[in-house]
Amino acid sequence: MRAATDTEVEQAYVLTDLTGSVAVGDDVVINTTAVDHGLGTGGWHVVHWNLSRRDWSGGSGGHVMKVRYTSLQADVGVSEEHEPDAPTGLPATPVVACSVHSQLGVVAAIVAAVRPGTRVAYVMTDGGALPLALSDLVHRLIETGLLVGTVTTGHAFGGDREAVGIPSGLAVARHAFAAEVIVAGMGLGGVGTGSRLGFSGLDQATVLDSAAWLGGRAVACLRASSADLRPRHRGVSHHSTTVLDATRSGVDVPVPVGLELDGPPARHRVIPVAPPDVAAVLAAIGVPVTTMGRGPADDPLFFAAAAAAGVHSASLLDGPGHP
């Protein structure tokens, strides 16, 4: 945190669920770290506290806290404490596990295009941003009817439902929203270090194994790129190959026709898919999706890989185990 001058005008956001409301003229404490480091997705200041307010008490959702043991811990409550006997199985439900947040928009749009009316729910893990409210993409998908509900798991918060962890979050999405397809992955602002294991997208393996364990049809959404300047993310990203190695269950791996996936473990099922015109689909529904500022024309492979997962997950709904 740093002091601001009287003449500075900079962007900041406030999470009113944690701090209460803020009005023009209030004195506030601002966390400036993201801007100071020049971060992209997280490049806004964050209001830490409103000094003009002596106290504040938020609504209680139950006894389960998120952002636990910090000064901003909140008693959001979770679905599991209110509905402890809710079903936990995912009978043949396609669960698309994403590596980066923008893949959600592509998968949801493609499912809607291939199989209109399909009920898609989103489960957000805590591998990236914790507040779901920061995602403009989720807001647009809900606004256009492409998502029927959201669940935030772990320390992520702000979904239509809250859940303790990834397995229960998937079950809540399936049964609370009658979801036919579940898309799961972290919110915006994931962390990567260039090392083999040091990236937050590795929780994709937990999503895949959890889905398979609960009887769902686990679908790995590959991260691939034809435009990323970093060699480790060109073609199929090392994030995806590491996730597939870490995933103990056998899962479906849709691959755009023409893309080579070297040496996936034999337990996985590699499925060639001819994706539709992603740019046309996104334009038709009016939901712009970019990855690191790049759209479908700039990085066609990224969008084709995510579209392949959407096409395949929709196709599973007309297979065994579904009416």
- For the chain, the domains span 1-55, 82-316
The answer to whether 243 and 201 are in contact (CB under 8 A) is yes
Starting at the earlier edge strand, list the strands of the sheet with 12-13.
12-13, 45-50, 28-31
| Alpha carbon separation from 136 to 190, 229, 234 (Å, rounded) | 16, 26, 27
Q: Where are the alpha helices (DSSP H) in the chain?
A: 16-19, 33-36, 79-82, 102-114, 136-143, 166-176, 203-213, 238-246, 278-285, 300-316
- Parallel, antiparallel, or unpaired for β 12-13 and 235-236? unpaired
pLDDT tens, residue order, the chain (323 aa): 454 555 567 788 888 777 788 888 888 888 887 788 776 656 778 888 888 877 777 667 777 888 888 888 888 889 998 899 999 999 999 999 999 999 999 999 999 999 999 999 999 999 999 999 999 999 999 999 999 999 999 999 999 999 999 999 999 999 999 999 999 999 998 888 889 999 889 999 999 999 999 999 999 999 999 888 788 888 899 999 999 999 999 999 999 999 989 889 999 999 999 999 999 999 999 999 998 889 999 999 999 999 999 999 999 998 666 54
Distance CA 89, CA 101 (A): 25
Q: Who contacts 10 (Cβ-Cβ below 8 Å, separation ≥6)?
A: 4, 35, 45
Question: What tokens does 127 get?
Answer: 């591998």
How many helices and strands in the chain, by DSSP H and E?
Answer: 10, 13
Could you tell me how far CA 103 lies from the centroid of its own chain?
8
